[in-house]
């Protein structure tokens, strides 16, 4: 097994940008370039804390261990393929998505890669249920944590409570949008944990430990926590370990984009962890809040696409967007500071420019 630095798929500048301080293994999606509901594999963001490992499908095994299993077990890819096949359409969103807005709102950056709002994507993930895999080793009464571990050099691992691990839509994905899982996204097998922060969806899965005790790691105690003056430290963690993702809306426009004045359709997406977004409202400049149109599909745990038809004069404009989910959660006016810069979900604000349409030379959009 050799290790390659960097990301394997091509990263054209029209589809990706790099968060500052992010290192070579991070790239975020330009939402403005998304073609439809699903994020194509070639446009899906990549977030890897270590070098991306090159694994051979024929050598790969998944080891099941731990004191809450009846027996130890090891499965090959062929063994996994014998299990019932399932597919789910779900978002994966980094808990640090939109972290750069902490710097904008608070005047100093939160620690970590300075992601814009593109560390998120929605794909159709196909594979097998984690519960079906664990059942092969016999999960005993009293099982508490499941620790999935990656085969990257740092053995990235973050525990799940047993109930979430056994949920119907917690899966080991072998395919992404109908293609074998790309190497950057965890080939040959990754976890997909619906509605939870991206860090739960461990890539290049190599081992699952099922224990009667907590199996905490760096990744749920020292990072991917809400830590800071306004958050209590929980147990051995420096703050509150993050689980589900909050309600958030996204605009399919680059900040500072240029459009043509006149009739325009503004578009975006909104999501809320395991939940479903039921309303998206927009406010242009100093106008009133108005409901955006929500399009189908609107899959819980994935996202909904929204649009707003409007007429805008030439000049600079500010769009604000806020989403509400089926539990009544709404994006707040502002967020409380946390040191790791996680879960930014204040009302989305984006500035753009309308150019005089008389200057239009062809039908191509300017942005």
Q: Which residues bind ligand MTE (CB under 6 A)?
A: 44-50, 92, 94, 150, 152, 156, 185, 198-199, 201-204
Q: Which is nearer to Mo ion, 198 or 246 (CB)?
A: 198
The b/e string for 311-349 (b: 16+ C-beta within 10 A; e otherwise) is: ebebeebebbbbbbbeeebbbeeebebbbbbbbbbbbbe
**Considering the rule CB under 5 A, would residue 127 count as an interface residue with Mo ion?**
no
Sequence-ordered list of residues with C-beta below 8 angstroms from that of 40, at least 6 positions apart, any chain: 177
- From 88-96, 133-141, 188-196, 244-252, span contacting Mo ion (CB under 5 A): 88-96
Q: Which is nearer to Mo ion, 30 or 47 (CB)?
A: 47
**Considering the rule CB under 5 A, would residue 242 count as an interface residue with Mo ion?**
no
Report in angstroms how near the CB of residue 181 gets to ligand MTE at its nearest: 9
Nearest to 63 by CA among 206, 223, 218, 261: 206
> For the range 226-230, what are the long-range contacts, defined as Cβ-Cβ under 8 Å and sequence gap of 24 or more?
226/338, 226/340, 226/342, 226/343, 227/338, 227/339, 227/340, 228/336, 228/337, 228/338, 228/339, 229/337, 230/336, 230/337, 230/338
Q: Which residues pair with 5 in a beta bridge?
A: none
At 105, list the tokens: 């709102």
From ligand MTE, Mo ion, none, which one binds at residue 260 (CB under 5 to 8 Å depending on kind)? none
Q: Which is nearer to Mo ion, 18 or 144 (CB)?
A: 18
Q: Which is nearer to Mo ion, 25 or 170 (CB)?
A: 25
Q: Which is nearer to ligand MTE, 46 or 280 (CB)?
A: 46
Site for Mo ion in 142-201 (CB under 5 A): 198-199
- For Mo ion, the binding residue among 15, 17, 30, 47 (CB under 5 A) is 47
**Considering the rule CB under 5 A, would residue 341 count as an interface residue with Mo ion?**
no
Kindly list the residues in this chain that would bind Mo ion in the complex (CB under 5 A).
47, 94, 198-199
């Amino acid at each position: 097994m050799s290790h390659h630095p960097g990301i394997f798929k091509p990263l054209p500048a029209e589809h990706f940008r790099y968060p500052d301080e992010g290192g070579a293994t991070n790239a975020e999606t330009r939402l403005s370039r998304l073609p439809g509901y699903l994020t194509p594999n070639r446009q899906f963001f990549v977030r890897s804390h270590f070098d991306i490992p090159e694994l051979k499908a024929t050598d790969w095994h998944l080891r099941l261990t731990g004191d809450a299993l009846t027996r130890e077990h090891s499965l090959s890819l062929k063994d996994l393929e014998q299990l019932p096949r399932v597919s789910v359409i779900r978002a994966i969103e980094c808990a640090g998505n939109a972290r750069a807005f902490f710097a904008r709102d608070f005047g100093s950056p939160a620690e970590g890669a300075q992601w814009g709002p593109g560390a998120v994507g929605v794909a159709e993930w196909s594979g097998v249920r984690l519960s079906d895999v664990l059942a092969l080793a016999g999960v005993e009464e009293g099982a508490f944590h499941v620790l999935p571990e990656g085969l990257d050099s740092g053995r990235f691992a973050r525990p799940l409570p047993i109930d979430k691990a056994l949920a119907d839509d917690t899966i080991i994905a072998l395919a992404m949008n109908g293609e074998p899982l790309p190497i950057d996204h965890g080939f040959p097998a990754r976890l997909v944990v619906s509605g939870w922060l991206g860090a739960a969806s461990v890539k290049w899965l190599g081992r699952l430990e099922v224990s009667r005790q907590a199996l905490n790691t760096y990744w749920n105690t020292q990072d991917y926590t809400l830590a800071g003056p306004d958050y209590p430290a929980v147990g051995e963690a420096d703050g509150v370990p993050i689980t589900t993702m909050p309600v958030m809306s996204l605009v399919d426009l680059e900040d500072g984009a240029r459009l043509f004045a006149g009739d325009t359709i503004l578009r975006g997406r909104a999501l809320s962890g395991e939940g479903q977004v039921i309303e998206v409202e927009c406010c242009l400049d100093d106008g009133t809040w108005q409901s955006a149109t929500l399009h189908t599909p609107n899959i819980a745990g994935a996202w909904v696409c929204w649009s707003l038809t409007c007429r805008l004069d030439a000049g600079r404009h500010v769009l604000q967007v806020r989403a509400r989910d089926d539990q009544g959660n709404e994006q707040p006016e502002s967020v409380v500071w946390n040191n790791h810069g996680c879960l930014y979900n204040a009302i989305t604000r984006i500035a753009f420019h309308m150019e005089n349409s008389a200057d239009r030379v062809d039908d191509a959009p300017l942005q």
